[in-house]
Structures are given as structure tokens and as C-alpha cells.
A and B are shown apart, each in its own frame.
Chain A
Amino acid sequence: MNILEIKNLHKSYGKIKALNGVSFSIPQGSVYGILGPNGSGKTTLLSIILNVLNADSGEYFWMGKQPTADLRKGIGSLLETPNFYHYLSAVSNLQVVQSISGRGNKNDIDTVLEQVKLTERKNSKFSTYSLGMKQRLAIASALLGNPKVIVLDEPTNGLDPVGIAEIRELIKLLSTKGHTIIMASHLLDEVEKVCTHVAILKTGNLITNGTVEDVLVDEDVVEIAAENNEALFNIIQHFDGLKSIITTSETLQLHFVKGSSNTTSINEFCFKNNIVLKYLSMKRKRLEEKFFELTGN
């Protein structure tokens, strides 16, 4: 089942087209990363599915149903900046969230504050919190009542490296328990470490989407090196199935059609031609590399 289906969403702010017919689906149990440069439409998209913004046209469905406030109650969300009552403490703010959403009980408030390491400051007013603490409270709010679907917009914003690592581990843990997590982020490294699926937006258009594997890998790249790379280059050109060779300062990158490379065959071929390889590795494209490639940066 798809947790969320988005169909042909359009949204403009005056002349600026923020979303241009975006459509994709989010499978249950996935950790879905929504990536894009600044102004690509990530937050606009999340705002629409959380009913903060009205789409100009298009529709979306939560769990196959028309979106309603009651459905939203079961979704833990963090959108843009943390929005809480500045004169209330963390506990009191979460009581308001609980009262509206119906998620969790009194004990759950202490539990989520413990999860985000805010227990010591739980009775301090929100106005006295640092940015990182505010972000942690927002995450706690999203986790309150253990919702099955969690939407996070830049969850690591304002957090220190320890905090970032903690959130990463938390997301992984939630994922193993079957939660569906929808996450917009700029930190490609983090997305690559935790996400199972990604969608990449650019100026309101969906560039690509799918599993991380599908998005990252569009061809096989095998990296090899020998004592004499020039001789290796002359030999390897004749290897069957090779699309292209890119020479770096220390290695040769061999590009094949996705799924067609065979490192054993490459090794045997070089050996038969009297070249002993000192390095052989199947290279996986980094998400960052793919992101820049797709967004034209």
C-alpha cells in the first residue's frame, strides 16, 4: 500500500511556479527523502500535504483516502521552523499537541522528551531554548504517540554533529519498526545513509524518483589500476561491453551498461594480456554526485 499518493500538484506564488505537476507515491514502510536545491519546492510540497498551503490544482491521498484533519492527527510532523507557544514549557506545548492530535498520553510526553534529550529543560519556557533545543522539541512533537507516519522537513536543522547522528539513528530505528518516514533534507550524506527512496525536485519539477539504488546507479562503474596504467588503458579498450573509459590520476574508470559488468572477467582479461591489476573495485556513485548531475550544478 502507498502511504501517500501525490497526483499532478501545481502551486504558484504569483508568477513563481513552485510546483509544476509533481506526481509520485510513497510506499508504506519506506524512508523517503525529498531532495532539491533551495527553491525547488520541497517545503511547498510538504506544506500542501499537511494542509498548510492550498494547491492550485492536483490532488493527494493519505492511505488511499481523501485528506482530512482526522487523518492528519495520526501523522507526526515537523514543518520548516518549530512553531510553539513561546510562553509555555516543552511539557505544556506537547500537551497542546496531544490535545489537538489525540496522540499519546501523559507518559508519552516524558518518553519523547527523553528520546530527544530535553528532559532536563522540559519545564523551561520555549522562549529560553536555543535553536537546537527548539528543533529537538519539534522532533519530539512529531514523535509523540508513536505515529506510524512521520513527516520531517530538515530535521537536523540547528543540531550539532552529535544531534545529527542521534536523529539518523532514530530514523533508522523507526524504519526497522515499520514506520514510514518522509524527509526533506539538504544533507545528502544523511539522506544516503538512511533513506530507502528519494525524489529529487528542481524548480518545482520532479527530476527523478525511486529507490536510492535505482536513482544512484544508472550504469556500472568499475575502477582499476596497474603499475603501468598506460599499458592497461591500451589493453582494456578492447574489452567487450565497455561503454567508456575515464582516466583519473591514479585509476581508470570503466563504464558499462547497468548490470552488465563482471569484475572477474575484467581481471582475467587483464591477466591474459600480461597486466596484473593492483586495484579493482565496483564504484558506487555518491548521491551528492548524482544530485549535482541531475540538478545541473
Chain B
Amino acid sequence: MFSILKTEWLKIKKYPAFWWILGITILSYPGINALFYFIHKDMTRSKDMAAQIATAVFGSPFTFPEVFKTVAFSSSLFMIIPAILIIMLICNEYTYKTNRQNIIDGWSRNNFLLGKFFSVLIVATITAGLAIIVSFAIGIINKNSETVVQPYNQFKYMIYFYLQTLSQLSFAFLLGLLLRRAFITLGVFIFYSVIVENILEGLGRKYTNDLGRFLFLEISNRLTPLPTFMSKFGEERYNLLASQFNQHIWLTLLYTLIFWLLSLWIIKKRDL
């Protein structure tokens, strides 16, 4: 296992494109959350009526413990950024046929997949780690004089965000494995995640008793729900999603497993 990790490290340590995109990812997550934070701060800062209404509606989504849930949700909207890294890592192996060479040199197809699994795991860990750091940073910055009874009781949303990231990056990996071309995979991933799945989820909610929740990304999207203040805009729907929550944890784990089993089957069956 160590030798597989070492080999994957040798592949990327001098790969400029990888480090550029990782750098963008690392900057994006604080940036995205800072953006939402400053918008909120702007809307609620002043003493006028509009600001007071905004404060009443939004509450304190950037203080402990709510900040964990808020950052998990806002970070989950930009899964495309770490997905670019994963898609690049798998598609490049096919473009330059280095996947063939790895097998010829003595890796089994299982070894090759394991190496890529570690890459996905590490990127998901970095992404979740960033979200945790950002949550604490914003929470500390935004700390007020009021004593919060359980400041970390919503930290669990960071764990759920990690699980969501792992699942959705696994899906991105599977797409890359199937399509083998980086730009096409990226295009399909964006088109599916931004447009297709949202349409299907909406149709599912309207016509099929919410069957859309079983779609590939939606299954884990429900692990990072809207911030609590959004319950004011649809309490019944908000409570329904909350009631399905535990089910989605297990389903996300199951889908992630299926993505990797499918990937294994494809790699074993396919001629390189």
C-alpha cells in the first residue's frame, strides 16, 4: 500500500497543473465562504429597518454552532473545483497511456485503481479539511459576547460534507474512467450536476414522490442541507428533508461503494 502511495506521489509531485489546480481549490473554499459571509455582514450591519429584517430572517448563520452547517452547504455548491483535479488525474492516464505502462511495469489493475482511490480520498480530505478550517475561522471571527451552550454540536455537518465530497468525487472519477477525455468529462459533469440533475430532481419532487433524491449527486447533496434560516421559507419541505437525513447517510455510503465497484469492473474488463 505504501508503495502505491509513493508511486502516486512520484506522478504528481512535479506536475505543475496539479499544483495550480490544488492551489485554486485551496483558495476557492475560503474565498467562497468569505463571499457569503461578507454579503451577510453587509446586509445586517447597519441599523436601518432592512438590516433589522435581514437579521431577523437570517439569524446568525456564521456563528457557532450554525457556521458548520452554513459552510458545509455553501462549500458543497462548488464541488466542481476539486472534481477538476480528479478528472484530470484519471483522464491524463488514458490520454498519455500511462495507465497501460503502469500495468506493463507490474501493477495489477487493482493496484492501479487503489492508487486512484487514494488520490480521491486525499483530495476529499483536503477539501473537507479546508471547510473545517474556514468554519472555525469564520466562527471565531464572528464570535460575540453571548455564551453559546453547545458551540460544536453541528460539527457533524463537516463530517457529512466530507462524506458528500468523497461520494461526488468518486462519481467524477467514474465519469472520467468511462469517458477517458478530460474536457468531455468535465463538460458532462458540469452539465449533469448543474442542469440535468436539478431538472430531474425537480420533476421527481413534483411527479414521483421525490424519487429524484436517489440521483447520483442528490443522494449526497441532502447531507449538507440549507442553512437553518431557510426553514422559514418552506418549513414542511425542510422538515421532510431532515427526516430522511439518516437514510441518506447510508445511501451515500452505498452509492460510493457502487461507484468504486463499477470502476473496478470497468478496469478489469476493459482492454487498455
Binding site for B on A (CB under 8 A): 47, 50-54, 68-70, 72-74, 77, 79, 81, 83-88, 92, 95-97, 99-102, 141
Tell whether A53 pairs with B106 under 8 Å between CB atoms, given A84-B98, A87-B14. Answer: no
Report the nearest A residue to B272, measured CB to CB.
A52
Interfacial chain B residues near A68, Cβ < 8 Å: 108
Report the nearest B residue to A99, measured CB to CB.
B7
Is the CB of B103 closer than 8 A to any CB of chain A?
yes
CB distance from B115 to the nearest CB of A (A): 10
Please tell me which one of the listed residues A54, A85, A97 contacts residue B271 in the complex, with CB atoms under 8 A apart: A54
A83 touches B98 (CB 8 A): yes
Report the nearest B residue to A96, measured CB to CB.
B10
Interfacial chain A residues near B243, Cβ < 8 Å: none
| Docked CA distance A92–B103 (Å) | 18
A52 touches B103 (CB 8 A): yes
B103 touches A51 (CB 8 A): yes
Is the CB of B233 closer than 8 A to any CB of chain A?
no
| Docked CA distance A77–B107 (Å) | 13
Interfacial chain A residues near B10, Cβ < 8 Å: 92, 95-96, 99
Is the CB of B154 closer than 8 A to any CB of chain A?
no
| Docked CA distance A141–B101 (Å) | 10
| Docked CA distance A81–B100 (Å) | 11
| Docked CA distance A47–B104 (Å) | 9
A100 touches B97 (CB 8 A): no
Interfacial chain B residues near A54, Cβ < 8 Å: 269, 271
Is the CB of B209 closer than 8 A to any CB of chain A?
no
Seed contacts A47-B271, A83-B101, A99-B3; 13 additional CB < 8 Å A-B pairs: A51-B104, A52-B104, A53-B271, A68-B108, A74-B106, A77-B105, A79-B100, A79-B104, A83-B97, A87-B16, A96-B11, A97-B105, A99-B7
Binding site for A on B (CB under 8 A): 3, 6-7, 10-11, 14-17, 96-98, 100-109, 111, 269, 271-272
Interfacial chain A residues near B102, Cβ < 8 Å: 100
Interfacial chain B residues near A97, Cβ < 8 Å: 101, 105
CB distance from B128 to the nearest CB of A (A): 28
Interfacial chain A residues near B11, Cβ < 8 Å: 85, 88, 96
B98 touches A50 (CB 8 A): no
Tell whether A69 pairs with B272 under 8 Å between CB atoms, given A86-B96, A92-B14. Answer: no
Interfacial chain B residues near A72, Cβ < 8 Å: 103-106
Interfacial chain A residues near B17, Cβ < 8 Å: 87
Report the nearest A residue to B95, measured CB to CB.
A86
CB distance from B270 to the nearest CB of A (A): 8
Tell whether A69 pairs with B14 under 8 Å between CB atoms, given A54-B271, A84-B101. Answer: no
Report the nearest B residue to A127, measured CB to CB.
B96
A69 touches B7 (CB 8 A): no
CB distance from A245 to the nearest CB of B (A): 52
Please tell me which one of the listed residues B15, B100, B269, B271 contacts residue A83 in the complex, with CB atoms under 8 A apart: B100
